[in-house]
Structure 1
């Protein structure tokens, strides 16, 4: 009987450890809707996907007129399934933009942002007032009830640049290592308006608002109130620490969670034309406005929809 020859030992490799707690590299789980969700065709408009898990253009709907009940319901389903919807060249008045947003609930204002012709419409024009650009964030998570969503229209676009990106924070959660999911399950984090706005406002501008906007706590992992999906609900503009964790451990874990938005597979990138409208679910996404258009101007106007308490 011929003796069995043992396979050769693998060659020894030099130490090749990479720093821990970095953004995971490799295959991603890309799930656009919750497990068990039934995908159905859209019957009242054409939907054109712009990303694998997030972002779609809507064709065949004009936003300048009130929506009938059926169209509104189908757009609501599209928002839940695609998280951000794009409507080309709508050229809405402030009143029309408010009316469209109002189909989804009460509108809210932010006293720290400049306004346009209408007090319920924030005007984002970096040439006059600094705005949130070059940072991944969800809107107003420093409120007890952060915004449900927002409707943004570009009034003036630069000849090149000025894109906006959105990230699906449910996909970002799905792709966390299991040990990280276990560490953050049930954890809560503190959100504060000061870190984000102190990037471009002096203390005397912020101090009068401290009593109105005290720090608040929200779950690190938020369950979407409609779809039930778990989402990462911390962001680099407003989240300061995780409750009950030592500061060093909190900082390290938050850096890891912030990085999840940076994976291109979870993102959609949109190049604007004047009059375009984007409508996004602030409960499920983060966004990033790219400031690469100087010395040209980029003027956007945004209407925010009041939301509920995260859980």
Structure 2
């Protein structure tokens, strides 16, 4: 098959056609998708009715898969988590965030499939940390490159929303024990392209370590607002069987929670990455 790559916005985003993601990738296809991901940071594929097994197999061609400690999983494919508004409180997705930055080695990327979508609403936005960093003034870029920030699992998964039953509480406490707060650089270098990107997000980043508390709060507020400006972002309107594949190392995203009481069901396979530097 011959891939067609159509850019969607200057900062990030491309639509990919001419491929069946249910089939194993050939070496040339895999390299083309990897290069497109480097170039465009988030890729969209229409009309891809993947089973969970097929979704996991596609994602695993780019790295080892993560099993999420909190969200429900597909019973026989635990590497695929379920985001179903009829089952789980997914309000933590309705905030700008980069997935699982509470891990020592946050995700390389993720593959999200649309199983059931509302008639309208429920869009997802992505923003480029590369574009946001490069748009900052040179003095601010230089200062940020010397800073680190704390990322905390409990910031997006508070006990009051994820510990309602004995089973949920045990799972939450185990996750908090296994993944205590940790530090990542405020500016991350992409391990392949070498480009630099802002690597703080409202979902998990709680403070900049080297600053006083009020300084950290003010700077994070500025960076959160700057990183998600419209010129650094793209908005995707889902259709059933759409697939999105994004580079989690240099992007953040926001699932708009504007469609209730309609139901939205998504499946996500998360690809493990490396330690940010």
Q: TM-score range by the shorter chain?
A: over 0.9
| Residues 1:66 and 2:27 aligned together | no
Number of the residue aligned with 1:22: none
Number of the residue aligned with 1:285: 251
Moved more, 60-69 or 111-120: 111-120
| Residues 1:238 and 2:197 aligned together | no
Number of the residue aligned with 1:200: 161
Q: Which runs of 4+ in 1 moved over 3 A?
A: 202-205
Number of the residue aligned with 1:146: 106
The structure that is strand-richer by fraction is 2
| Residues 1:110 and 2:68 aligned together | yes
Number of the residue aligned with 2:270: 304
1:68-99, Cα deviation, whole Å (9 max, x unpaired): 00011011000000001111010001110011
1:206 Cα deviation (Å)?
A: 2.5
| Residues 1:101 and 2:59 aligned together | yes
1:130 Cα deviation (Å)?
A: 1.1
* Residue pair 2:198, 2:227 contacting (<8 A) in 1 also: no
Q: TM-score, normalised by structure 1?
A: 0.84
- Structure 1 vs Structure 2 CA RMSD: 1.4
> Which of residues 61, 82, 91 in structure 2 aligns to 1:123?
82
Report how many aligned residue pairs link the two structures: 269
> Which of residues 265, 268, 271 in structure 1 aligns to 2:231?
265
> Which of residues 151, 154, 179 in structure 2 aligns to 1:191?
151
Mapping of residues 13-92 of structure 1, within 5 Å: 44-92=2-50
Number of the residue aligned with 2:180: 214
> What 5-or-longer segments of structure 1 have no aligned partner?
1-42
1:114 Cα deviation (Å)?
A: 1.1
CA distance in 2 between counterparts of 1:100 and 1:164 reads 21
Number of the residue aligned with 1:35: none
The structure that is helix-richer by fraction is 2
1:48 Cα deviation (Å)?
A: 1.2
Number of the residue aligned with 2:137: 177
CA distance in 1 between counterparts of 2:200 and 2:186 reads 6
| Residues 1:223 and 2:223 aligned together | no
CA distance in 2 between counterparts of 1:304 and 1:218 reads 19
1:207 Cα deviation (Å)?
A: 2.4
